[in-house]
C-alpha cells in the first residue's frame, strides 16, 4: 500500500508541475508577445521558466535517481506547451503567436551534472543549477530570434482576454536586444541554485510525508 501511495504522490507531483509550467509559460508569454517591454519581458520569462524547469526536473531526477529523467521531464513540458500552441493555431492565430520555450538542452545539463558527479545531490544543486540558469536564456533567445516580430504579431493579432492598454501602439519598437540575455542568464545562474535546492527539498518532503 505504501509503495502504491508513494507512486501516486510522485506522479501527481509530476502532472501538477508539468501543467503549471504550461500555464506559467503562456502567462509569461504575455510579456513577450503583447508589450514593447522587451527587456523586462525576457528576464521575467527566463526566470519563470528556469523556476519551473529546475524545481520539477530536480524533483523528478532525485526521486528516480536515474540520470536522464530531467530531460524526460523537459520533454513532458515541451509536449504540453506544443498542445497549447496548437490550440491557439487552431483558433486562427499565426504559428509564431506562441513560442515553445527551449527547456530540453538545459535539462540535459542538469542530468549531466548529476551523472558526472556520481549522483551527488549538492553538485546537482550547485553545478546543475548554475548551468541550467545560465543556459536557458541563451537557448531561448536563439529560438525567439528565428520567429516573426512578436510585437508586430501582437499588433495584428491582439489577444482578446487582454485589456487594450497591453496592446503595443508602435509594433516596430524594441524587438530584442543582447542585454536581456545577459541579465536573464546572470539572474538565472544565481536563482536557479535556490530553485534546484527547492526541487531536492520537495523530494525529501515527499518521502517524509509518505513515511508518516
Tell me, yes or no, if the pTM score tops 0.75. yes
pLDDT for residue 208: 64
Domain total of the chain: 1
Give residue for cell 497591453.
166
pLDDT string in tens for the chain (212-residue length): 677 777 777 677 767 766 766 666 666 555 444 444 444 577 877 888 898 889 889 988 998 899 999 999 899 888 877 887 888 788 888 777 777 788 999 999 999 999 999 999 999 999 999 999 999 999 988 877 777 766 666 667 766 666 666 555 554 444 445 567 888 898 999 999 999 998 888 777 766 666 54
Give the Cα separation of 150 and 95 in Å (integer): 11
Domain with residue 68: its CATH number is: 1.20.1450.10
pLDDT for residue 140: 85
Phi first, then psi: what are they for 157, rounded to 5°? -130, 75
Q: Which of 65, 44, 82, 168 is nearest to 118 (CA)?
A: 65
- Quote the domain boundaries for residue 170: 2-211
Chain centroid to Cα 138, Å, comes to 13
Amino acid at each position: 500500500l505504501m509503495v502504491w501511495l508513494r507512486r501516486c504522490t510522485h506522479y501527481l507531483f509530476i502532472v501538477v508541475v508539468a501543467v503549471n509550467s504550461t500555464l506559467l509559460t503562456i502567462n509569461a508569454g504575455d510579456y513577450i508577445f503583447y508589450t514593447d517591454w522587451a527587456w523586462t519581458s525576457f528576464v521575467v520569462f527566463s526566470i519563470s521558466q528556469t523556476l519551473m524547469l529546475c524545481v520539477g526536473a530536480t524533483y523528478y531526477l532525485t526521486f528516480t535517481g536515474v540520470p536522464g529523467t530531467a530531460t524526460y521531464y523537459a520533454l513532458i513540458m515541451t509536449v504540453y506547451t506544443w498542445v497549447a500552441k496548437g490550440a491557439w493555431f487552431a483558433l486562427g492565430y499565426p504559428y509564431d503567436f506562441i513560442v515553445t520555450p527551449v527547456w530540453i538542452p538545459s535539462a540535459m545539463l542538469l542530468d549531466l551534472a548529476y551523472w558526472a558527479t556520481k549522483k551527488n545531490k549538492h553538485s546537482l544543486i550547485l553545478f546543475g543549477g548554475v548551468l541550467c540558469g545560465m543556459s536557458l536564456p541563451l537557448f531561448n533567445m536563439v529560438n525567439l530570434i528565428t520567429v516573426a516580430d512578436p510585437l508586430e504579431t501582437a499588433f495584428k493579432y491582439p489577444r482578446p482576454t487582454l485589456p487594450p492598454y497591453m496592446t503595443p501602439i508602435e509594433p516596430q519598437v524594441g524587438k530584442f536586444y543582447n542585454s536581456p540575455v545577459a541579465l536573464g542568464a546572470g539572474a538565472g545562474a544565481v536563482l536557479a541554485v535556490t530553485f534546484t535546492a527547492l526541487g531536492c527539498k520537495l523530494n525529501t518532503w515527499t518521502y517524509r510525508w509518505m513515511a508518516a
